[in-house]
Every structure is written in structure tokens, then in C-alpha cells.
Amino acid sequence: MSLRLPSEVVVEQVLPTLRVLLARELADRGLTQQEIADHLGVTQAAVSKYVGDAPPVEARIADHPRTAETVERVADGLAGGEMDPYDALAEVLDLVRAFEDRGPICELHEEAMPALQGLGCDLCVRGQDQVLSAERDVLASVRKGARVLATSPGMAAFVPNVGSNVGGALPEAADPTDVAAIPGRIYAIGGRVEVPANPEFGASKHVSTLLLAATGVDPATRGAVNLATDDALLDAARDRGIDPLAFDAEYENRGERLREQFAARGGEVPRVLYHEGAFGIEPITFVLGETAEAAARLAADLVESAR
């Protein structure tokens, strides 16, 4: 019996096909061969063959509708700057995982290892770790949320002097290590919003305090962004039918006090909360959402209306 791992199929047949398709899509969007090579992690000579010759591709991968969707989405993201290599890799991994679950990778693997045929093999999807999957989802949402803040016009004017942040909580989050955020916070420099690092769990005490209070009352509210308190921003929220909740700026027992305020509102967690500051505490507004990305998009919409 031949011993072939599914990963060999991915490396030898799937990835070469995806690189060819991505190279052609990126070339169609005006990128140079060297720029394409940098994105794909190959040489410029390899890209020249991808776009100029007719290298062999695996038809079951190349012709699959989901492949076309993923390749176009990644090409648009890389060409437009909305995706970085991490996001592109995540998209490709999602495609590979989908194809490993009774998909074309299964077919290719059974051809390479005939002993598997007819067994209903589930080696690739057996024992998926739901905890790790949830962590990946939260980290991805925080990364996307941070990118929304970094690319939204006018956002820099609403970043507090102490910095902003975007956070996301795991389902049933119980302590700050269950909340992911950007280490070192997000700052405005020269009119731009700078994201200094990739998200990590346990990276923000203040965002986690707020989110743990929110999720304890409304488990669906698991994303938050903090901005500078500004009357125009609060008015923009009211114009959208959001009633901002004012709370005390002091840090001591903040989570407990917020839960009490949420309870007083009938268990409602508002989408916008703010305080007016205190001695040594800058006025801050929090924008909440179901995910970190959703909170960031709402924040961007409010900033756009407040400008």
C-alpha cells in the first residue's frame, strides 16, 4: 500500500494550481511580475512562467467555483491593499480545509492512495479543535477591525491621546485572557492610524473589562473599539437611533458598575458608551458590536457621519 499524506497532495497539486491562478489574476490587476512574486513567495522567473506559458494545473481545483471565488477575493485584497499576507493565507487555508472535507482533495488523495477508496475517509477533518477554531475566528476579526480603523478616512482625529484599540471576546469569555486586542494600542501619527502589532489574547485590560461586562449580560456582544469622546460622534450615534450610555470614568470596579447599569436598562447593552473623563483619565467612547470587525465598522460609520 502506498503511503501518501493529504498534505503531499496539497503541496504537489493544489498549491501550484492556486499560485498559477493567483499570479494571472494579480497580473490582470496591473501588478508587476516582481510584485506578484513577492506576494506568492516565489521567484520572478516562476511568475513569468505562470502568466506567460501554460503550466499544468489540476482541473478539479482550478475549475471549482469556490476556487474562483477565493482567488478573486485574495487578488482583489492584495492588489487593493485590503489584505496582508496573513489574511491571504487564511483565505487559502479555508479553501484547503473545505476541499479536504469530502472535496476534490479527497478525490486526489484517494487516487494517490487507492487503499482509501470506499472507506469514507475523514482523516483531514477528524477531531477538529473547536477551541482553537474559535480563537482563530476572534483573532481574525480583531485583525480585520484594526484594518478598518487604519483605512477609514478621518479616523485619526478620533484616536485618543492614550491610543485606541479594538478587541474581540471568545464565546463565554470569563477573564481578560479570553479577550484579544492589539498590544501597545493603536495610535494616530501624522494624520494616519498606525497598528503596531498583530492581536493577542490578554493584550488590553480596559477593553477586556468592558467586553467581559457586556458579554456577561449580552453574550452576542463580543467586539469593542475605543475612541475619543466627541459630541459630534455621540450625535452621529443618536442620529442612527443609538442611545449612548454615560458611565463613570473611574477604573475601580468599572466592570461591576457597568453590569449594574446594563441591568438597570433591562439587560440591554448599548452600542455606544462614553465617559467625560476624570483627573488623569482622558474622555473615552466605546463602540460595541457582535464582533471586533462589526464594532470597527460601526465606529467608522459614526466617524464618517461626525466629520
98-141 pLDDT per residue, tens: 888 778 888 888 888 887 776 666 667 665 667 778 888 999 99
φ/ψ (deg, to 5) at 29: -95, 10
Classify residue 42: in a domain, yes or no: yes
Whether residues 170 and 281 share a domain: the answer is yes
Identify the pLDDT of residue 128: 60
Whether residues 179 and 36 share a domain: the answer is no
Whether residues 218 and 188 share a domain: the answer is yes
Whether residues 157 and 288 share a domain: the answer is yes
* CA atoms of 57 and 235, how far apart (whole Å): 55
Identify the pLDDT of residue 85: 83
**Of 47, 82, 116, which closes a domain?**
116
1: pLDDT strictly greater than 60: no
Identify the pLDDT of residue 163: 95
Identify the sign of the CA torsion 224, 226, 227, 231: positive
Whether residues 93 and 223 share a domain: the answer is no
Domain of residue 182, residue span:
132-306
Report the CATH number at residue 184: 3.40.225.10
Classify residue 124: in a domain, yes or no: no
E-assigned strands of 170-231? 179-181, 187-189, 192-194, 200-201, 223-228
* CA atoms of 198 and 272, how far apart (whole Å): 25
Whether residues 39 and 87 share a domain: the answer is yes
Closest among 50, 137, 58 to 103, alpha carbons compared? 58
**Of 58, 81, 116, which closes a domain?**
116
Closest among 249, 255, 243, 248 to 208, alpha carbons compared? 255
| Domain count for the chain | 2
Q: Taking the model in full, what pTM does it have? A: 0.69
| Mean pLDDT confidence for 230-236 | 96
Classify residue 195: in a domain, yes or no: yes
Identify the pLDDT of residue 84: 85
Whether residues 181 and 212 share a domain: the answer is yes
* CA atoms of 109 and 13, how far apart (whole Å): 10
